[in-house]
Amino acid sequence: MAALSAATTRKFEGPQEEISPKVAASDTYYKGAILCYDSSGYAAVPTDAAALFPAGIVSGTYEDGVVDNAYAVGSGENPRATLYRGKVWLPLASVAQTDAGELAYIADDNTLTQTAGSKTVAFVILDVDTTNDLALVDLRVPDRIA
Task: Print burial letters for 113-125: b (CB count within 10 Å at least 16), e (below 16).
Answer: bbeeeebbbbbbb
pLDDT at 144: 62
Q: Secondary structure of the chain: what % helix, strand, coil (to 5)?
A: 0, 45, 50
pLDDT at 73: 74
Cα torsion 17, 13, 130, 141 to 10°: value is 40
- Collapsing DSSP states into helix, strand and coil, what is residue 97? helix
Domain ranges of the chain: 12-85, 89-145
Rg (CA), the chain: 14
Backbone angles phi, psi at 99, to 5 degrees: -80, -15
Q: What is the pTM of this model?
A: 0.88
pLDDT at 63: 66
pLDDT band at 33 (very low <50, low <70, confident <90, very high): very high
Q: Choose between 60 and 146: higher pLDDT.
A: 60
- How far is the C-alpha of 146 from the C-alpha of 144, rounded, in Å? 6
pLDDT at 49 over 90: no
pLDDT digits (tens, 9 = 90+) for 74-83: 666 788 889 9
DSSP symbol at 35:
E
pLDDT band at 16 (very low <50, low <70, confident <90, very high): very high
